[in-house]
Structures are given as structure tokens and as C-alpha cells.
Amino acid sequence: MPTRSVLECLWLIYSVKISFGSFVYPSLVLAYLGQGARLVVNGADVLPNVFYLTIPGRHNGPLFWVQYVFAILATLIASQAMITATFSLVQQLLNMKCLPSYEPFLRGIWLSSRLLFRLHMVHTSDKIQGQVYIPIANWIRESRSVQS
């Protein structure tokens, strides 16, 4: 894999800064100002569901459904990002040996539970580096999701 030149790296950094400063940040500011203005005008009517009731137009109009689809897509992307970040963080902690030993906490629990709570990585791909599955991280995320 060829290395990047200094100019290519600087261009990548500046392109992210320019796109964030000229597109993402103004869009977020306008969205929050619009929701705030709607709350000031009809506060009690839109307070139960601020996100969907501040969409301009009719309640079941075309803009509502476009916003609804984008909200679902954003939720899917955010959940995948959370899963990837969790496995990446635990993988780095395992590689650096930063996690405390959990064996003293499992004394008196059966052998099958010890096998379940074993901290190990399962590499799911031989070709792509970083494709890992960590069973304990998955079980903790699942139990926290069900509890909330």
C-alpha cells in the first residue's frame, strides 16, 4: 500500500474541516433553531414529541415521511457505529492487557459460566484485519439493551 504525501494528508484534513464548517454545522444550527422557534410558538402542543411534531407541513405529508425515513437510517447507522466502537475498544483493551482479571469474581459459579465469560476474540475473517467478535462484549451490550 503506497504511503500518502504530506499534501494529500493536509488536503484530507482541510476537506473535512471545510465540509463540516460549511455544511454540517450550519445545518445543525438551522435545525435546532427551527425546533426552538416551534417550541416558542406552540410549546405545549409539540412538547410530547418535539422531533416529529416540529417537522413543517401536515402531519402525514410527504416531508414527514422523508424525515421519518432519514431518522430510521440515522438510527441504523448509529447502532452499527456503536457496535463497531464497542468491539474495537474491547479488542484494544485485550491487546494491551488492560482489563482486570475476572476469575476471583467467578469462584463458586459453574464451569459453563466460566466458559461463557471468557475474554477472547474470535477473528471472523482471514482476509480483513480487525473483523473480530468478542462474546462477552456482545452479551453485556445485549443485557444492557434489554434492561433499558
| Digit-coded pLDDT (tens) for 85-141 | 888 887 777 777 776 555 555 555 544 444 445 567 777 878 877 777 777 777 777
Q: Report yes or no: 121 and 94 within 8 Å, Cβ to Cβ.
A: yes
Q: Does 148 or 103 have the greater pLDDT score?
A: 148
Is the pLDDT at 60 greater than 80? The verdict is yes
β-bridge partners, 132: 123
Res 13 pLDDT > 50: yes
The answer on pLDDT for 48 being more than 70 is yes
CB atoms within 10 A of CB 137: 20
Angle between helices 135-147 and 62-96 (to 10 degrees): 140
Q: Contact 35/15 with Cβ under 8 angstroms?
A: no
Give this prediction's pTM. 0.53
